[in-house]
Amino acid sequence: MAPHAHVPLTVNGEPTEVAFAPYKTLLEVLREDLNLPGTKHGCELGECGACAVLLDGQPVLSCLVLGVDCDGRDVTTVEGLASDGRLHPLQETFADLGAAQCGYCTPGFLVTAKALLDEHPHPTRHQIREALSGVLCRCTGYQQIFEAVEAAIATTDSRLSTTDPRSCR
Amino acid sequence: MKVIGIPRRRVDGRAKVTGQTRFADDVALPRMVHCKLLRSTVPHARIVGIDASRARAHPGVHLVLTGADFPIPYGILPVSQDEHALAIDRVRFVGDPVAAVIARDELTAFEALDLIAVDYEPLRTFSGPDDSLEHDTPRIHDYGDAGNIHKLVSLRFGDVQAALSAADHVFDDTFFYEGNTHLPIEQHAAVAAKDPDGKLVLWSSTQTPHYVHRALAKALALPAAHVRVIATPNGGGFGGKSDPFNHEVVVCKAALLLDRPVKICLTREEVFYCHRGRHPVLMRFETGVKRDGTITGMRVQTVLDGGAYGSYGVASTFYTGALQTVTYHIPSYEFRGCRVFTNKPPCGPKRGHGTPQSRFGQEIQLDKIAERLALDPADLRLRIVEQPETLTANYLHVGTIGLTECIRRVTRAATWSERFRKLPPGRGVGLACSSYLSGAGLPIYWNDMPHSGVQLKLDRSGGVTAFCGATEIGQGSDDVLVACVAEVLGIDPSDIRAVTGDTDLTPVDLGSYSSRVTLMMGNAAIQAAERARDLLADAVSKKLSVPRDRLVFAERRVFDTEEPAVGVSFSEAVCLAETMFGTLGTTGSYTPPRSAARFKGGGVGPSPTYSYTAAIVEVDVDPSTGWIHVPRVWIAHDIGRSINPTLVRGQVEGSVYMALGEALMEEQTFRRLPPKLSHALVHKFPSMLEYKSPTTLDMPEVFTELVENPDPRGPFGAKEVGQGPLLPIMPAVANAIYDAVGVRIDEVPITPEKVLRALDAKAAGKPARVGPTRFPAVPWPAALEVPPPWEGGDGTAKVKSEKAKGKSEMRNVESEVARP
């Protein structure tokens, strides 16, 4: 077997170092070596978008990124969206509004939507559609996903204007 | 109602948005090894020999299995036990599993597959129904009704010929529905292990743990009590995870032999080979109508391309002819169905199971009828909607029917009368209706036991645990279970823990198929909860000296309805009851009512009640490119009552989505490799990139109306919603395209190329239609004659066929029999 690669990277805000076979994709490294199975796979060929994660804040398909290419970089997965015991507004609204049915594509949608809102805090419905078009969902028909993203924007806006913290449900 | 009918976060919502839902491929155990399957590269061949010696010697390989290790066949239906975990002496399609390698990791197992040499002796390939009907030999299977015909059905309810003769108009149309597949985002995965007692346990992405349990016990010759199947939450199912699968049997056998956990996760390509998806169906509808639109009689003929194995195919065949009568009044009805074997991945149940194909034909034909009779298509349907609480010609007992209200609501919402035939050229609207089962009335193997069971454990903490074999596939079955219990006991859904889909821990529920879970599990849950409530009420009544019937369970309290301040907390009520009765636990179960159909074949179609849907689709068609854009869909669904409206809406919109995929782009089709290669019949595009499905950019706006008219048979009045709303969309798209550009596309998918072809034909003065022009010659057997209820029939056939008398197999399948 080929010698393992040793790669330092930041995962969900925590600096870490991981050793893995050098042919492994970021998806495999996350699921198998970093014990982060929240990121899913639907094809392992870059076709479905389920495995999307944020790499330095940008959505990438983790099945198409080699683990060794993540040296020194910053990775955010679905496990890293909640903070300080609070779910991310997108997580709250996805759960509340039916945007997650089977939940298998949900991690991919959540991180992709987060990247969108980080860059454009007030996107139009069409911008939301475009930003999410690389992730496939077979359950929802997408409409409740769009509504959840829009509701999260409203939540974020109201959070910014109040100091009232919502507890993690 | 404090819980039922109120939009609410589903009970498993948090897990799904935090990545904590544990799907099958997330199961990882100490000492686990990995399995890969070698699949056939040829469509039809005898296996002359397999040499696995090099694979066995490969470093890191623990075990290689072949067909010889799996002598016992299995299959979902008792009448179609035609699968082996690994092919014994014959492969029947490209992708048929031949051997399995279990190795230290996936990569090693994958490498070792290349080291297995299989010697195939090719046999004639059957690529479609014409081949299979024309050539009896070689037979793909050594069973079935004739040659390569798996199943032939012929049923007649009344004198259809006379009814057609008495009609003012007879319409005779053929339609073709191309096959397509479920495409769940989760690839099938399974992990098998010996538990500490030495018993077998399987975690699997299955919709039907109970049936997998039975199949494993049979195929591995194990006592069923020593097998445990845990259905992990499915990452989408849609019917595609309803069969016992090769890979499940293989990893179980390997785990037993190695005494180590064995895992398999299929590749996306392999998921296309598992298939069990929509059957391609060629169909012919002959329908007689009076000038006012009244239907006098209907004859439906279908030919199904079944693929290489039986799967649910016998049931699928009956379903293509079962539900026509449930929507509209059809006084005489005839159905002939034929399923053939071909050398392609097996077809089976996909959302709507066998009914979307014929619904497509029926609803387009109604559009044609309306036009000929100069009736508005909505008005025509309103005239012929079946009456509620009646028995149809084919002995299906329909319960409440909200279809009239659905049509009214959807036409109002869409401003139908201002749009139909009035939009500018290139734009159009189409309407169609449908109905679907709220659960199959009969189980897959014949028995009189409950279809769903629920057990409750009441805890002194005030918590309740609900145990049920129902399987969470994303539709929200855990949420329905919890909601029903919470409503009856007056506690919050968050106070309840659901333990589901585990054949060791939970009572049997038959599985997530046929839209049965809400109605059947819901009723069982209510019964269990009411029994628990009675125990608590006895104890509280004694403690407070308040008559039992004055006690109310609400807001986590049990109190006197006349004096609400007098009461106890729910947890105190549990303590009182535990003091009085000892350890608390209750059960509930549900068995569907007995069907009125008592003829052979009457087992498919009965349901406790049916849901109804009406939909209007708007299209924009570019006449220069044929490009079809769907901007809006209006849909009204007769739900009976919503348990959780958020999830109901999700099922409706998800159905619209999946239906638009089927209508416009999805197709599971095949091609021949070039002769200089193997000339093998292969899947045209077993990848998600090329198997097109709608993206966020393709999805129209959907306006959903829920028609709530509680059905007394449903839990709190609820009917199904998971499948029915898919059905009207495909024909509504076809009807809208006719409204937009005046061409009939009598097949799906409706592609730009077909629209252009029809427009060209129209311009050349030829029939403005694309669709099948012939129906094959099928050796139909003599029809089983069953007089309809209004002709004095009692649900039995006039003359019992020889076959029905003699064959006990017929008693063993949902699809074949009525209850004796």
Please tell me whether residues A53 and A97 are part of one structural domain. Answer: no
> Which phi and psi angles does B705 have, rounded to 5°?
-120, 130
Please tell me whether residues A72 and A104 are part of one structural domain. Answer: no
- Report d(CA B384, CA B404) in Å as an integer: 10
Question: How is B300-363 classified by DSSP, letter by letter?
Answer: EEEEEE--SS-TTHHHHHHHTTTSHHHHB--SSEEEEEEEE--SSSPP---TTTTHHHHHHHHH
Are B23 and A104 within 8 A, CB to CB? yes
Are A45 and B688 within 8 A, CB to CB? yes
Give a yes or no: residue A167 inside a domain.
no
Please tell me whether residues A139 and A157 are part of one structural domain. Answer: yes
Closest CB from B236, B687, B689 relative to A138: B236
Closest CB from A50, A97, A141 relative to B702: A141
Contacts of A48 in chain B (CB under 8 A): 185, 268, 688
DSSP character for A66?
A: B
Please tell me whether residues A59 and A111 are part of one structural domain. Answer: no
- Report d(CA B334, CA B322) in Å as an integer: 10
User: How far is the CA of B125 from the CAs of A67, B146, B151, B672, B676, in angstroms?
Assistant: 44, 17, 19, 10, 17
Closest CB from A106, A134, A146 relative to B17: A106
With a cut of 50, list the residues of chain B below it in pLDDT. Answer: 801, 804-820
Within an 8 Å CB–CB cutoff, is residue A144 touching chain B? yes
List the single residue in B with minimal CA-CA distance to A31. Answer: B26
Contacts of A139 in chain B (CB under 8 A): 236, 474, 650, 654
Q: In the prediction, which pLDDT does A1 show?
A: 58
Quote the mean pLDDT of chain A: 94
DSSP character for A29?
A: I
Q: How far is B547 from chain A (nearest CA, A)?
A: 38
Query: Strand, coil or helix: what is A77?
Result: coil
Within an 8 Å CB–CB cutoff, is residue A148 touching chain B? no
- What number of other Cβ atoms are within 10 A of residue B181's Cβ? 25
Domain chopping of chain B, boundaries: 33-123+185-236+241-274, 281-442+599-770, 449-590
Produce one character per residue of B747-784: b if its CB has 16 or more CB atoms within 10 Å, e if not: bbbbbeebbbbbbeebeeeeebbbbeeeebebeeeebb
Within an 8 Å CB–CB cutoff, is residue B267 touching chain A? yes
What CATH number corresponds to the domain at position A140? 1.10.150.120
What fold characterizes domain B281-442+599-770?
A: Aldehyde Oxidoreductase; domain 4 (3.30.365)
Please tell me whether residues A64 and A110 are part of one structural domain. Answer: no
Closest CB from B234, B650, B689 relative to A144: B650
Contact B503, B229 (CB under 8 A): yes
To probe the interface with B, which of A139, A155, A167 has the most B CB atoms within 10 Å? Answer: A139
Of residues B497, B438, B495, the one with CA closest to residue B468? B497
* Residue type at position B4: I
Give a yes or no: residue A94 inside a domain.
yes
Higher pLDDT, A167 or A13: A13
Within an 8 Å CB–CB cutoff, is residue B189 touching chain A? no
User: Is there a shared CATH topology between the B33-123+185-236+241-274 domain and the B449-590 domain?
Assistant: no
Q: Which of residues 473-492 of B touch A (CB under 8 A)?
A: 473-476
Within an 8 Å CB–CB cutoff, is residue B106 touching chain A? no
Contact B48, B208 (CB under 8 A): no
Determine how β-strand B97-103 pairs with β-strand B33-39. Answer: antiparallel
> Which phi and psi angles does B225 have, rounded to 5°?
-70, -15
Global confidence as pTM: 0.96
User: How far is the CA of B730 from the CAs of B350, B382, B633, B658, B693, in angstroms?
Assistant: 15, 20, 12, 10, 14
Within an 8 Å CB–CB cutoff, is residue B330 touching chain A? no
Closest CB from B15, B688, B699 relative to A142: B699
Q: In the prediction, which pLDDT does A162 show?
A: 61
Q: Residue A152 belongs to what domain range? A: 89-161
Please tell me whether residues A105 and A75 are part of one structural domain. Answer: no
Within an 8 Å CB–CB cutoff, is residue B51 touching chain A? no
**Mean pLDDT of all residues in A7-25:** 97
Q: What is the CATH number of domain B449-590?
A: 3.30.365.10
Please tell me whether residues A51 and A18 are part of one structural domain. Answer: yes
Domain count across chain A: 2
Q: Give me the count of residues in chain B.
A: 820
Are B688 and A102 within 8 A, CB to CB? no
Within an 8 Å CB–CB cutoff, is residue B785 touching chain A? no
Q: Which of A28, A50, A80 is the last residue of a domain?
A: A80
Determine how β-strand B681-683 pairs with β-strand B670-672. Answer: antiparallel
To probe the interface with A, which of B107, B494, B649, B696 has the most A CB atoms within 10 Å? Answer: B696
List the single residue in B with minimal CA-CA distance to A126. Answer: B697
List the single residue in A with minimal CA-CA distance to B268. Answer: A43
Contacts of B28 in chain A (CB under 8 A): 37
Please tell me whether residues A93 and A74 are part of one structural domain. Answer: no
Contact B711, B515 (CB under 8 A): no
Contacts of B13 in chain A (CB under 8 A): 94-96, 100
Please tell me whether residues A47 and A93 are part of one structural domain. Answer: no
Structure tokens at B79: 């009448």
Are B182 and A43 within 8 A, CB to CB? no
Are A133 and B184 within 8 A, CB to CB? no
Give a yes or no: residue A152 inside a domain.
yes
Give a yes or no: residue A166 inside a domain.
no
Q: In the prediction, which pLDDT does A156 show?
A: 87
- Does domain B33-123+185-236+241-274 fall under CATH 3.40.50.2300? My reply is no
> Which phi and psi angles does B70 have, rounded to 5°?
-130, 70
Q: In the prediction, which pLDDT does B677 show?
A: 86
To probe the interface with A, which of B58, B185, B472 has the most A CB atoms within 10 Å? Answer: B185
Please tell me whether residues A93 and A141 are part of one structural domain. Answer: yes
Q: How far is B15 from chain A (nearest CA, A)?
A: 8
Are B696 and A142 within 8 A, CB to CB? yes
Within an 8 Å CB–CB cutoff, is residue B10 touching chain A? yes
Q: In the prediction, which pLDDT does B800 show?
A: 54
Give a yes or no: residue A153 inside a domain.
yes
Q: Which of A62, A80, A98 is the last residue of a domain?
A: A80
Are A132 and B701 within 8 A, CB to CB? no
Are A140 and B657 within 8 A, CB to CB? yes
Residue with tokens 């060794």: A68
What CATH number corresponds to the domain at position A44? 3.10.20.30
Are A38 and B20 within 8 A, CB to CB? yes
Q: Which of A40, A56, A80 is the last residue of a domain?
A: A80
Please tell me whether residues A70 and A97 are part of one structural domain. Answer: no
